[in-house]
Amino acid sequence: MSDHSPAAVLGNEPAPQAFSAADITVEELEAGSSLWSDAWQRLRKNRLAIISLVIFVAVCLFCVIGPFLSPYNAESQDLLAGATAPSAAHPFGTDPLGRDLMVRVMEGGRISLLVGLIATLVSLMIGVVYGATAGYLGGKVDAAMMRFVDLLYALPFTIFVILLMVAFGRSLWLIFVAIGCVEWLSMARIVRSGVIGLKKQEFIEAAVSLGYSHSRIILRHLIPNVMGPVIVVATLTVPAVMLLEAFLSFLGLGVQPPNASWGVLINEGQQNMEILPWLLIFPAFFFALTLFCLNFLGDGLRDALDPKSAKD
Amino acid sequence: MAKFVILRLIQGIFVLLAIYAVTFFLVAATPGSPFSSERAIRPEILAQIEAFYGYDKPVGERFLTSLNNVLRGEFGPSAVYANRTVTEIIAGSFPVSLKLGSISLLVALLLGVPAGILAAVKKNTWLDYLPMSTAMAGICLPTFVMGPLLALVFGLILQLLPVAGWFGPEFVILPAATLGLYYAAYFARLTRGGMLEMLNQDFVRTARAKGVPEATIVWKHCLKGGLIPAITFLGPALAGIISGSFVVETIFQVPGLGQWFVRGALNRDDFLILGLTILFAALIVIMNLIVDILQVMLNPRLKYE
């Protein structure tokens, strides 16, 4: 971001001393007044959201890099030692098979985060394209498409996710797709209402009169302009997906051993919580912390990207 | 109003029919059948079982037969639990779920809504941060962590409440608290958002300028409008409480409906899945109707359409 951007000048930062209209090129003006830099300015002031972002990044790094730095790996067992309480050698303790819990939490985090991100991407792609198409085409097509979404809202989707897992085996990829196929409905609604608001505007009229194809208008002109709310919904979809994955793991349908997700670890932990509480505490702490951060970050982004909150 | 309700009910019947069709063909398209089990069955016996349940006929014909049965109120036999009809299973477990669900919803509303109002009125003070952080923690802790924790503290350490079973009023408390606390968190956040939106309106500034007491502004001017987001969430909340109560039912060994959702899907019990889906969808349709009526009562700008 350049210091000369109008956002910086109009915002709380001290204005640069030598400032004249000639200093600002057209590009800088456009860049400075964009939705994104305004939103970033607002987000930066939201202390809770920024702390959440930092913690979330730290948890991601912990899970991704951690296993390389640890002397243990998630599979190495020490059956003679069995379950031991947290100690200097094993900061999070070990499980009944003598596996180091810290590495298991890291590896579990990798899988939980991966499920969260990829399933959200799947839901994002379905929801954005579906919603944008419905909103852009309008009329009867729109009505039919949205009635279909309403119908799906009234289906108990957990049944179908379970059915899918039972029918097609329990692969990690299926979890991504099955959860993604369930979570796109809100995304489609939000994108549709955004597109309906946009399509009456001049730049879309201009694109239509230039003879661009429907798909080009939807993909190049409409979708980029509804990315704000989409990002907010996506941030809030990740925790929802992670909860759903944890629920599947609770049923024994989620990630299969020797792999483990946080959901699997929490489920194992709660079975022995009276005698081996650390097996529940550490995975549940990281799970809850991640969800906590993502929810606060989503809230912060919503406030930052919502034009109504610009008044505050 | 009567016209609106009747119209919506008719609409609802069509929605249910469409949902029945979607579910039927989704289930039919899924590979596997309710009768494939680990035990090897002689082909002629399998053929006989399939003929008994009508699985030897083409999908289209099966659909029409089952639709005909459902319209007469018969959901058919359970394909996996021999000698039990789907109607019997639902009749046995639905009252339990309804009791647990409505008490949980009551807990959620009684805790969540006042907390949300308090947080909105005392915005950016510790009376806002404390309930809202607690609410966020409630959302982030899955019920299968919260449930065992409550059982451990109140059941095993304090010895105050029974931790498993369904025999009397005291058995309702822990499961209802586990379910209710989770949704209380959502209601608190929605109520806070709704109230803040109202408190920022111009008419509130006018009222304050006129010297209207703050209590009157909150309770008389803002409460109705501020509750709308929370009211809208009632439908999804009830649906979630009834179908998502599987975890709580497992932990506290409650003989409710949630376990059948999971068992039906795990066993590929087609008739049970269809029956439960229709029940679930009917609940959503009815809840949405109630929510729409409540919304018009709270917001005079809306009209019955």
**pLDDT, tens only, B194-205:** 888 888 888 888
C-alpha span between A31 and A33 (Å, rounded): 6
What pLDDT, on a 0 to 100 scale, did the predictor assign at position A27?
52
Residue contact A163–B142, C-beta within 8 A = no
Q: Which amino acid is at B166?
A: W
Whole-number pLDDT of residue B243: 65
Nearest residue in B to A151, CA atom: B19
Residue with token string 């289906």: A155
How big is chain A, counted in residues?
Answer: 312
Determine the Cα–Cα distance for residues B167 and B28; give it in Å rounded to an integer: 39
Q: How many CB atoms lie within 10 A of CB B194?
A: 24
Of B30, B32, B152, the CB nearest to A274: B152
* Interchain contact, B32 vs A153, CB within 8 Å: no
Whether B230 shows a pLDDT value over 80: the answer reads yes
Q: For B265-274, how does the pLDDT look when each residue is reduced to its tens digit (9 = 90+)?
A: 777 777 888 8
pLDDT over 60 (residue A309)? no
Subunit contact A288:B141, Cβ cutoff 8 A: yes
| A104: Cα separation from own chain's centroid | 22
Distance CA A48, CA A55 (A): 11
Chain B contact set for A155 (CB, 8 A): 19, 22-23, 277, 280-281
In chain A, residues with a C-beta closer than 8 Å to the C-beta of B281 are 154-156
Amino acid A306: pLDDT: 63
pLDDT of residue B281: 84
User: What's the rounded Cα separation, in Å, for the pair B162 and B182?
Assistant: 21
- Give me the pLDDT at residue A307, please: 53
Closest CB to B140: pick one of A167, A266, A295.
Answer: A295
pTM greater than 0.80: no
Read off the pLDDT of residues B12-58 as tens digits, 9 standing for 90 and up: 888 888 888 888 888 877 776 767 665 667 777 777 777 777 777 77
B167: pLDDT strictly greater than 60: yes
- The mean pLDDT value for A263-274 works out to 78
What is the model's pLDDT at position A6? 42
Give the range among A144-153, A155-164, A239-248 with minimum mean pLDDT. A155-164
Cβ–Cβ contact A153 with B under 8 A: yes
Identify the pLDDT of residue B287: 82
Instruction: Please name the residues in contact with B290: beta carbons below 8 A apart, sequence gap of 6 or more.
Output: B234, B235
Above pLDDT 90, what percent of chain A?
0
Q: A167-211 pLDDT, tens per residue?
A: 776 677 777 777 888 788 888 888 888 888 787 788 888 888 888
**Buried b vs exposed e over A231-264: b needs ≥16 C-beta within 10 Å?**
bbbbbbbbbbbbbbbbbbbbbebbbeeeebbbbb
Give residue B244's pLDDT band: very low, low, confident or very high (50, 70, 90).
Answer: low
Q: Touching check for B97 and chain A: CB below 8 Å?
A: no
pLDDT at A163 over 80: no
Name the residue among A267, A275, A279, A290 with its Cα closest to residue A104.
A279
Distance from first CA to last CA of chain B, Å, rounded?
Answer: 9
A149-163, A183-197, A207-221, A297-311: the lowest-pLDDT one: A297-311
Q: Residue A1 pLDDT > 60, yes or no?
A: no
> Does B140 score more than 50 pLDDT?
yes
Mean pLDDT of B243-254: 77
Among B181, B180, B171, which residue's Cα sits nearest to residue B255?
A: B171
Long-range contacts of A77-81 (CB under 8 A, 24+ apart): none
Under the banding of pLDDT at 50, 70 and 90, the label for residue B246 is confident
A182's tokens: 């369930």
Contact B145 A284 (CB under 8 A): yes
Q: What is the mean pLDDT of chain B?
A: 80
According to the model, what pLDDT value does residue B38 have?
59
Interface of A with B in 195-254 (CB under 8 A): 239, 243, 246-247, 250-251
> What is the distance between the alpha carbons of residues A60 and A22, in angstroms, rounded to a whole number?
44
Task: Give the separation between CA B266 and CA A103, rounded to whole angstroms.
Answer: 32
What are the tens digits of pLDDT across the range B60-104?
777 877 777 777 777 777 776 767 788 888 888 888 888 888 888
Predicted local distance difference test score (pLDDT) of residue A64: 82
| C-beta atoms surrounding A266 within 10 Å | 29
Query: Judging by beta carbons within 10 Å of its beta carbon (0-12, 13-18, 19+), is residue A14 exposed, middle or buried?
Result: exposed
Q: Give residue B37's pLDDT.
A: 62
pLDDT in tens, A218-246: 877 777 777 777 877 787 788 888 888 88
In whole angstroms, what is the distance from residue A73 CA to residue A100 CA? Answer: 7
B240 backbone dihedrals φ, ψ, rounded to 5°: -65, -40
Restricting to B residues 153-192, those with a Cβ less than 8 Å away from any Cβ of A are 156
Integer Cα distance of B278 and B301 in angstroms? 33
Q: Residue A58 pLDDT > 80, yes or no?
A: yes
Q: How far apart are CA B189 and CA B197, in angstroms?
A: 12
- pLDDT given at position A311: 38
Phi, psi of B299, deg, nearest 5: -125, 100
> Which of A159, A166, A289 is the mutation pick for testing B, counting most B CBs within 10 A?
A159
Most confident of A42-46, B3-7, B243-247: B3-7
Nearest to A1 by CA among A30, A37, A25: A37
User: What secondary structure, in 3-state letters, does chain A show?
Assistant: CCCCCHHHHHCCCCCCCCCCHHHCCHHHHHHHCCHHHHHHHHHHHCHHHHHHHHHHHHHHHHHHHHHHHCCCCCCCCCCCCCCCCCCCCCCCCECCCCCEHHHHHHHHHHHHHHHHHHHHHHHHHHHHHHHHHHHHHCHHHHHHHHHHHHHHHCCCHHHHHHHHHHHHCCCHHHHHHHHHHHCCHHHHHHHHHHHHHHCCCHHHHHHHHCCCCHHHHHHHHHHHHHHHHHHHHHHHHHHHHHHHHHHHHHCCCCCCCCCCCHHHHHHHHHHCCCCCCHHHHHHHHHHHHHHHHHHHHHHHHHHHHCHHHHHC
CA distance A154 to B240: 11
Q: Which amino acid is at A12?
A: N
Distance of alpha carbon B73 from the chain centroid: 23
